[in-house]
Amino acid sequence: MRVKILTLLAAFSLFGFGQELNRPPRLLLTPQRLKRLQRDRQRQTVRWAGFENRIESTPDSPERGFELALYYAVTRDEKRGRDAIAWALQHPCEQRQIALVLDWCGNLISTDQRRMLTAARCVSPGSGPPYASESARDRLFMAVAAGKEDDPRADASFKQIILSSLENGGFLHPRDLYAAIEYLDAVRSTQRIDLRENAPAFFSALPAEFLLSMKPEQVEHPDWMAHVSALALVSLDPNLDTSQFLQGWAMENRQMLRDGPGVAYELLWANPYLPGIGYQNLDPWVYDAAGRLFARSDWSSGACWIGITKDGIEEENCPAGWREHQVTFGHMTLVPMAGPCIVVPRRKNNEVTILWKLHPDQDVSHWEEKKRMRAKADSAGMWRLPANIDGKICADR
């Protein structure tokens, strides 16, 4: 009888409690991603070598908890895992990193340690994260680590905070974009919900818009957060045409992070097995109805680059007086509204004309298939002309 009881207890430990402790990660490390990282370690790739060097040489890294937990998840080195737990206990304000330690090092954490980590509240002074998406991401991560990831407020938080921020231009700040990507990734892996379905057109264009929003110098020499944000953004849907252009840019060897705070992120997100297309083949302009236009004359470092948003106009390397004349970027022609009415010539099927220098939300009238039509400029004073427009366009007073 004693033998049977011990056998049952052993089975319970193996298939019950033990299984819970050794469950796969739920945050960021999908089985496929973890397998790729383990393959990097086996092959001693440049990215793995850079990451391992940071683990050994930078004990004072502000992201030490994340880095140690990632190292443990890949190698199962218990010393590094326990170091990650010790770091988390000493940094109660670092909710994102604490959540990743709880998720990735869970089988090494005692009941008391888990209770302390999940109950910890930041008591440090300060106003919190600078971007709302970071705060929403951190709350979600902690909910997942505490086993409460099915909270229906996740979808509401996305719509009210993150999606609103991104659509209003938050993606122009790589930290904001990166936090949003981690949020989307976590909801998809834990709840099997793709929140991008709330704004499919925006997310389909986002990889190209993110790339084209960068000025020529940033494209040539991006900061590490912009670089890893691009790699992470590709992972949301690698099959998008726009993602493949962004992958082609982000995976250039000259951009690989070999040291510094981005090496762990480089290892996590850089996937050389995904398809990529030379970004120089991307038509160099993008416009969305939210009132944003980014364009460049070509992909050289000295290209004329412009950004028109409701906040104003930015430009680099553009010839003097360009704003007074029509200018072509790829298959798009930008035409200033030089008077009360202008005449726009017919265009070829693949050509686009965008009228600008209107007032925000100003009404315009035009002829379309022999009918007088009315439309409205966007919040930046631009209007993308319909394909079959013909003749005179007038700005209403």
Amino acid identity, position 372: R
Residue finishing a domain among 105, 120, 135: 120
In a domain, 219, yes or no: no
The 10s digit of each residue's pLDDT in 140-186 is 999 999 887 665 555 676 777 888 889 999 999 999 999 999 999 99
Task: Walk along the chain (397 residues) in steps of 10 and give the mean pLDDT of each run.
Answer: 42 37 84 97 97 97 98 98 98 96 97 91 53 87 84 66 89 95 93 91 97 97 97 97 97 94 97 94 95 97 96 96 95 93 81 95 85 91 86 84
In a domain, 386, yes or no: yes
Domain count, the chain: 2
In a domain, 182, yes or no: no
Residue 351 DSSP SS3: coil
The 10s digit of each residue's pLDDT in 1-45 is 444 444 444 443 333 333 344 678 999 999 999 999 999 999 999
Residue finishing a domain among 120, 149, 175: 120
Phi, psi of 389 (to 5 degrees): -70, 150
Task: Pick left, alpha or beta for residue 5 (phi over 0 → left; psi -120 to 50 → alpha; otherwise beta).
Answer: alpha
In a domain, 165, yes or no: no
Residue finishing a domain among 72, 90, 120: 120
As a whole number of angstroms, the distance between CA 83 and CA 96 comes to 17
Q: Could you tell me if 101 and 146 are in contact, meaning their C-beta atoms sit under 8 angstroms apart?
A: no
Bridge partners, residue 312, by sequence? 309
In a domain, 164, yes or no: no
In a domain, 227, yes or no: no
Q: Could you tell me if 105 and 20 are in contact, meaning their C-beta atoms sit under 8 angstroms apart?
A: no
Residue/partner pairs of 70-73 with CB below 8 Å, 24 or more apart: 70/37, 70/100, 70/104, 70/264, 70/267, 70/268, 72/104, 72/105, 72/108, 73/25, 73/29, 73/34, 73/37, 73/104, 73/105
As a whole number of angstroms, the distance between CA 22 and CA 10 comes to 15
For the chain, how far is it from start to end, CA to CA, in angstroms?
A: 94
The secondary structure of residue 299, as a DSSP letter, is S
As a whole number of angstroms, the distance between CA 339 and CA 1 comes to 97
Residue 57: which domain range? Answer: 1-120
| Residue 288: predicted pLDDT | 93
In a domain, 175, yes or no: no
Question: 């007038």: which residue's tokens?
Answer: 394
Compute the residue count for the chain: 397
In a domain, 346, yes or no: yes
**What are the residues whose beta carbons fall under 8 Å from the beta carbon of 180, sequence distance 6 or more?**
133, 137, 162, 165, 166, 170, 171
Q: Could you tell me if 263 and 50 are in contact, meaning their C-beta atoms sit under 8 angstroms apart?
A: yes
